[in-house]
Amino acid sequence: MKKCYVLIVMLAAVTLLFACSKEMSREGDNSQPPAGNCDYAPYTNGSSFSYVNVNSAKDTTHYTLTVSGDTTINGNVYKKIGNDSVFTCSACNTGIYTQVASILTFQGYKADDLKLTYLKDNVPVGTSWQDTISVSNGGISTSGIIQFTVTQKGVTKAVNGKDYAEVIAVRMDAYALVLGNAVPVGTLSTSYYGKGIGLIEADQEQDTTRIVSYTLMP
């Protein structure tokens, strides 16, 4: 039970503690959808995206993420996006969007080398895919699954008083692997991506992050 609890906590922290690292991923979808245009990650150098996060206690945090250039990981080129406290490496290829991330430490546990496929813009509503993560603490290790599902596509969504068109919503669910079986942990978040902008809102159980403004550089 202790190992399952730790996995739940680790999964909940995945979206908050990103940093560039080496790659590791295993997807559950082996189909070949049509190529997309990568319109949901306009991460040109110097572009910036400002957000506000509001938690269940109504505390607010404002921050801005800036695209600071490229980095090469295992032969693949990623965009570096972040600020002083949050950092991730993002890439897109034919409509498949990935982030390379690593949770450094959390209550003594560590998850190494996460490559998360957080969005596919070229698949229909209802499509799901998976990434597997591993966490360890000394001699204790366990694994889990993060499953992504497209729940909406081509919709208009209002965020902070502004309407965003052609939005794709992706729900992220967690599963613990117990004796080889995937046991549902729960929904970690639902993220909304606007065409030509990227992430416009992320809803989690205890907080919501919404875009405030953005600047796209040529």
pTM for this model (two decimals): 0.82
Tokens, residue 18 = 């990103």
Fold of 2-215: YmcC-like fold (2.40.360)
Write out pLDDT tens, residues 79-88: 999 888 777 8
Each domain of the chain, given as residue ranges in start order, spans 2-215
**Amino acid identity, residue 64?**
T
Give the whole-angstrom CA distance, residue 194 versus residue 184: 29
pLDDT value of position 143: 80
Write out pLDDT tens, residues 9-66: 334 444 333 445 433 333 444 455 566 689 999 999 999 999 999 999 999 999 999 9
pLDDT value of position 62: 96
**Cβ burial 7-44 (10 Å sphere, 16+ → b, else e):** beebbbebbebbebbeebeeeeeeeeeeebebbbbbbe
